[in-house]
């Protein structure tokens, strides 16, 4: 039976901490309302201990967007009482709130960042979960830098925090170090052990894109048993970013037979969400970005345009309408063939030409396309008009 994958969106926490991406309260609320429309399962609304402004934004999102029990609102805490209290005090207004806490498990974090022993860090984690559990039932524990951690220590931590009451275990590839096969194998092993201990606890992953593999690692985790994934819109996030929500969702949907898994995301809202986040954050989407880039559904080679006009599936695996766009775009350039130019003229209702006229206009088109990078609709009108004026 097809498996539901929980979608946790961290655009407002991991995404918003990016240089230049700061949002004010009203912009955060707008993004949160749009994420609700997109139908993600969990919104991470911020890091309330970091500032009064962030605390207030998380609180307002919990009150105004989290007023339904099918959308969980969470926020981040370090494994310290002050942070946990700040999350509790801000997310408690949601119908379905959760405390998310993070503590490193790699030797680098334990020894160099915290200057503590592994046993000390383990105890801090257990105590923090036990304390958070006195405040609310839903607790996510993130083992920061999990992919560079000693596996048996990572497991010892997960086992202990599960016993202390964590309801979701998040395994981050914090610095984007993982590769899909290795990460997938690690998730399979953790999934096995976790399901033996308590199969109600969700196994989650959080992948960064430092080596360009965040989406691939996230999908490898799903293939190997992950129940939940953490993503951001447009892949925005610390350094090279996080796994892009739209890529993970559309990979699961397009390759459904391979993954046998689905999300409840409303795909028609993907493009809208991408544009809202990009414009409010003032960060452009890379033009060739999968799914949400300007060129993701634009075809320019003559061979491809001819193939598409004969059968869309020749060069299209995702329909632009699925993600909320009107249609594909056939860009007219010097590489476009007769088929694409004829199609464009017909769409403009100026396509009723004899073969002889069309051939001459097509020759004019090629000259113009060689001189200009792209030929637009208004250029075609002028081409046709000039041609008949010369007759």
The answer to whether residue 172 forms part of the interface with ligand KIV (CB under 6 A) is yes
The answer to whether residue 174 forms part of the interface with ligand KIV (CB under 6 A) is yes
Q: How far is the CB of 208 from ligand KIV (least distance, A)?
A: 6
In angstroms, the CA 286 to CA 130 distance is: 43
Residue 14 or 247 having the CB closest to Zn ion: 14
Residue 75 or 270 having the CB closest to ligand KIV: 75
Residue 74 or 170 having the CB closest to ligand KIV: 170
CA 156 to chain centroid: 30
Q: Which does 102 bind (CB under 5 to 8 A by kind): ligand KIV, Zn ion, none?
A: ligand KIV
Residue indicated by tokens 């391979």: 258
Which span (6-14, 131-139, 186-194, 353-361) binds Zn ion, by CB under 5 A? 6-14
Q: How far is the CB of 334 from Zn ion (least distance, A)?
A: 44
In angstroms, the CA 134 to CA 165 distance is: 10
Report the relative pairing of strands 97-104 and 329-330 from DSSP bridges. unpaired
Residue 106 or 343 having the CB closest to ligand KIV: 106
Q: How far is the CB of 143 from ligand KIV (least distance, A)?
A: 9
Residue 78 or 338 having the CB closest to ligand KIV: 78
Which one among 9, 144, 227, 247 touches ligand KIV, defined by CB under 6 A? 144
The answer to whether residue 14 forms part of the interface with ligand KIV (CB under 6 A) is yes
In angstroms, the CA 39 to CA 35 distance is: 6
Near ligand KIV in 152-171, by CB under 6 A:
170
Q: How far is the CB of 291 from ligand KIV (least distance, A)?
A: 22
Is the distance from CB of 36 to CB of 67 less than 8 angstroms?
no
231 closest CA partner among 14, 5, 2, 1: 14
Which one among 102, 205, 261, 291 touches ligand KIV, defined by CB under 6 A? 102
Q: CB within 8 A of 114, min separation 6: which ones?
A: 104, 121
The answer to whether residue 14 forms part of the interface with Zn ion (CB under 5 A) is yes
Site string for ligand KIV, 53-92 (x = CB under 6 A): -----------------------x----------------
Residue 208 or 267 having the CB closest to ligand KIV: 208
Per the DSSP assignment, residues forming a β-bridge with 299 are 330
CA distances to 95, 175, 177, 283 from 172, in Å: 27, 9, 10, 25
Q: Which does 227 bind (CB under 5 to 8 A by kind): ligand KIV, Zn ion, none?
A: none
C-beta contacts of 318-322 below 8 A and 24+ residues apart: 318/250, 318/254, 318/291, 320/296, 322/250, 322/253, 322/267, 322/268
Q: How far is the CB of 251 from ligand KIV (least distance, A)?
A: 21
Q: Which does 157 bind (CB under 5 to 8 A by kind): Zn ion, ligand KIV, none?
A: none
Q: Which does 144 bind (CB under 5 to 8 A by kind): Zn ion, ligand KIV, none?
A: ligand KIV
In angstroms, the CA 162 to CA 140 distance is: 10
Residue 61 or 171 having the CB closest to ligand KIV: 171
Residue 97 structure tokens: 């709130």
Is the distance from CB of 220 to CB of 214 less than 8 angstroms?
no
Burial of 23 (0-12, 13-18, 19+ CB in 10 A): buried
Give the residues lining the site for ligand KIV (CB under 6 A): 14, 76, 102, 142, 144, 170, 172, 174, 206, 208
Give the residues lining the site for Zn ion (CB under 5 A): 14
């Amino acid at each position: 039976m097809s498996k539901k994958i929980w979608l946790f969106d961290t655009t407002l926490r991991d995404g918003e901490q990016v240089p230049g991406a700061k949002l004010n309260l009203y912009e955060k609320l707008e993004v949160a309302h749009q994420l609700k429309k997109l139908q993600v399962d969990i919104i991470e609304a911020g890091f309330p201990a970091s500032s009064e402004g962030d605390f207030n934004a998380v609180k307002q999102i919990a009150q105004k967007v989290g007023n339904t029990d099918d959308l969980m609102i969470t926020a981040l805490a370090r494994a310290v009482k002050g942070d946990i209290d700040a999350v509790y005090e801000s997310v408690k207004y949601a119908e379905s709130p959760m405390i998310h806490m993070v503590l490193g498990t790699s030797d680098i974090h334990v020894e160099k960042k915290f200057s503590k022993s592994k046993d000390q860090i383990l105890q801090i984690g257990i105590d923090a979960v036990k304390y958070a559990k006195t405040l609310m039932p839903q607790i996510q524990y993130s083992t920061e830098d999990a992919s560079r951690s000693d596996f048996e220590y990572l497991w010892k931590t997960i086992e202990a925090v599960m016993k202390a009451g964590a309801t979701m275990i998040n395994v981050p590839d914090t610095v984007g170090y993982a590769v899909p096969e290795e990460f997938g194998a690690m998730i399979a092993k953790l999934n096995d052990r976790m399901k033996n201990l308590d199969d109600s606890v969700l196994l989650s992953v959080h992948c960064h894109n430092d080596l360009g593999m965040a989406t691939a690692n996230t999908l490898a985790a799903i293939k190997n048993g992950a129940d939940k994934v953490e993503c951001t819109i447009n892949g925005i996030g610390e350094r090279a970013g996080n796994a892009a929500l739209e890529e993970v969702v559309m990979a699961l949907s397009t390759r459904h037979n391979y993954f046998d898994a689905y999300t409840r995301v409303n795909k028609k809202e993907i493009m809208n969400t991408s544009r809202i986040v990009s414009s409010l954050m003032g960060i452009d989407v890379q033009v060739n970005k999968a799914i949400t880039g300007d060129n993701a559904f634009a075809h320019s080679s003559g061979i491809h345009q001819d193939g598409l006009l004969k059968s869309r599936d020749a060069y299209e695996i995702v329909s632009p309408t699925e993600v909320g766009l009107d249609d594909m775009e056939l860009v007219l350039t010097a590489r476009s063939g007769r088929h694409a130019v004829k199609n464009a003229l017909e769409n403009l209702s100026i396509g009723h030409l004899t073969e002889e006229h069309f051939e001459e206009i097509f020759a004019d088109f090629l000259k113009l396309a060689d001189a200009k990078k792209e030929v637009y609709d208004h250029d075609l009108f002028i081409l046709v008009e000039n041609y008949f004026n010369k007759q």
